[in-house]
Amino acid sequence: MPGVSACIDALASIEQKPRLAVFPPAIDRDSFRQCGDYWLDKRNVYFECGTSLKALAEANCATFRSMGGGYGADDHGGWHCGRRMKHCLRGDLLQTIPQDPLYAVDDNSVYCDGKPLPGVDHARWRLLGGHFSGDGSRVYYLERKLPRVDVASWRLLQGSWPRDHKHLFHVFMIETDPMLRAQHGFTDEEG
């Protein structure tokens, strides 16, 4: 086949270029150990990324602690799944929430999946169930604030379906489908 041999000849003539590999700093095998979701040696803190370990620049291996749920902290701040939590400046104050490992708190923020909840009143925040949380004036689904929610009448129906006196929500979105609203006790006058 003339077309196939031309392709093979063209591939054979491509010059191989050397590939540069980037390796993490040499791991000290004698001090290397697992620390919860992280790994430590005497020089670095590592997080598992796929099939390799990523050294966390700036992480202090002498003060680092793993807290579960992907959270970790050192004397400089907090980490989540190997990423620096830029809003968490006091790692010594970071604590995970035992009832739901997606959440953590420090002296002035509440975090979900490593991200601060927008506008949350840290002192009044609490879990509401089903990955919902609130602070008395806002309701969140994970890290997203529910729009136009009436906090006083908000309640969780089942799974990811909450409601207030006027709106049916599916996770953090207002549901407008009349059939779904009717299934959850709304009448046309309430929409």
The secondary structure of the chain, three-state, reads CHHHHHHHHHHHCCCCCCCCCCCCCCCCCCCCEEECCEEECCCCEEEEECCEEEECCCCCCCCCEEEECCEEEECCEEEECCEEECCCCCHHHCEECCCCCCEEECCCCEEECCEECCCCCCCCCEEEECCEEECCCCEEECCEECCCCCHHHCEEEECCEEECCCCEEECCEEECCHHHHHHCCCCHHHC
- Which pLDDT score, from 0 to 100, does residue 41 have? 95
Give me the sheet containing 65-68, strands edge to edge. Answer: 65-68, 71-74, 77-80, 83-85
Contact residues for 18 (Cβ-Cβ < 8 A; gap 6+): none
C-alpha dihedral, 44 to 47 to 52 to 55, nearest 10°: -30
Residue 103 pLDDT > 80, yes or no?
A: yes
Tell me if 88 sits within 8 A of 78, measured CB to CB.
Answer: yes
Mean pLDDT of 129-147: 95
Quote the percentage of the chain above a pLDDT of 90: 74
pTM: 0.79
Residue 165 pLDDT > 90, yes or no?
A: yes
Residue 73 pLDDT > 70, yes or no?
A: yes
C-alpha dihedral, 105 to 108 to 114 to 118, nearest 10°: 120
Mean pLDDT of 158-177: 93
> Residue 30: phi, psi to the nearest 5?
-70, -35
**Alpha-carbon distance values, 166 to 77, 134, 176 (Å):** 41, 18, 11
